[in-house]
Amino acid sequence: QVQLQQSGAELVKPGSSVKISCKASGYTFTSYDMHWIKQQPGNGLEWIGWIYPGNGNTKYNQKFNGKATLTADKSSSTAYMQLSSLTSEDSAVYFCARGGRVLDYWGQGVMVTVSS
Amino acid sequence: DIQVTQSPSSLLASLGERVTITCQTSQSISNNLNWYQQKPGQAPMLLIYYATSLQTGMPSRFSGQYSGRSFTLTITSLEPEDVANYFCLQHYSAPYTFGAGTKLELK
């Protein structure tokens, strides 16, 4: 069965970076986009972008240009998102979700807390 | 960006009641809209894709319809396990955008 296993919660300092992971199993990793979504209480959900692990192509929400960097490792079927120059506005739960248009399976989410 | 306006933001309903949630998009997106259910502390689950198709394994009491820029999710007879947050997602064009969500609770 399709599973997306995300890394654990992160507590990080303002100005730093964090890299979270999403390990896929149960399907051909290189055949589906992997999307990333931000969820904040009260601010709803925001789509960050996607990466196609088959060739590394990416598409970002302009709002997250310079903030998020998406990568994928085909050998381990793992997608990554690095968030840089973190501020309190980046504190949120981040989900990965299998694409293309139908984001059908989601990871359990990673809570990132930015605090000094 | 395509704006998605979801209503209501919260909803109180009784067991067995018919429930309807609506998303309206700022421009035409054909049928490129999905519906999700999310329970506290859990990942969202896909209910309906391409506006009207029921995801495999989801109960048949969930259905989706659309007309123009208006999309509806209907639960024909509310069950206790349906208490959750529901949201829509337009995937017609990037950036994909979400409705703000509907919190469904039991009356």
Q: How confident is the model at residue A41 (pLDDT cuts 50, 70, 90)?
A: confident
Nearest to B45 by CA among B96, B54, A47: B54
The pairing of strands B62-67 and B84-90 is unpaired
Restricting to B residues 43-102, those with a Cβ less than 8 Å away from any Cβ of A are 43-46, 49-50, 55, 87, 89, 91, 94-101
Report whether pLDDT(A88) > 90. yes
pLDDT band at A115 (very low <50, low <70, confident <90, very high): very high
The pLDDT confidence band at residue A76, using thresholds 50, 70 and 90, is very high
pLDDT of B37 reads: 97
Q: Are B6 and B99 in contact (CB under 8 A)?
A: yes
Determine contact, residues A105/A5, Cβ cutoff 8 Å: no
Residue B106 pairs in a beta bridge with: B13
- Angle ∠(A64,A69,A74) on CA atoms, nearest 5: 140
Instruction: Report the distance separating Cα B45 and Cα A2, nearest Å.
Output: 13
Residue A113 exposed, middle or buried by CB count within 10 Å (0-12, 13-18, 19+) = middle
* Token pair in block for residue A68: 């998020």
Whether omega before B8 lies within 30 degrees of 0, making that bond cis, reads: yes
Q: Quick check: helix, strand or coil at residue A29?
A: helix
What DSSP assignment string belongs to A10-44? EEE-TT--EEEEEEEESS-GGGS-EEEEEEETTTE
CA dist B104 and B107 (Å) reads 10
* Residue A104 banded pLDDT, cuts 50, 70, 90: very high
Q: What is the pLDDT of residue B27?
A: 98
A5 touches chain B (CB under 8 A): no
Residues 6+ apart with CB under 8 A from A44: B87, B98, B99, B100, B101
Cβ atoms within 10 Å of A85's Cβ, excluding its own: 11
pLDDT of A100 above 90: no
For the segment A2-38, what is each residue's pLDDT rounded down to a tens digit? Answer: 999 999 999 999 999 999 999 999 999 999 999 999 9
What is the rounded CA–CA span in Å between residue A111 and residue B15?
33
Window 45-104 of A, Cβ < 8 Å to B: 45-47, 59, 61-63, 95, 97, 101-104
pLDDT digits (tens, 9 = 90+) for B7-65: 999 999 999 999 999 999 999 999 999 999 999 989 999 999 999 999 999 999 999 99
Q: In the numeric block, which tokens belong to residue A90?
A: 């980046």
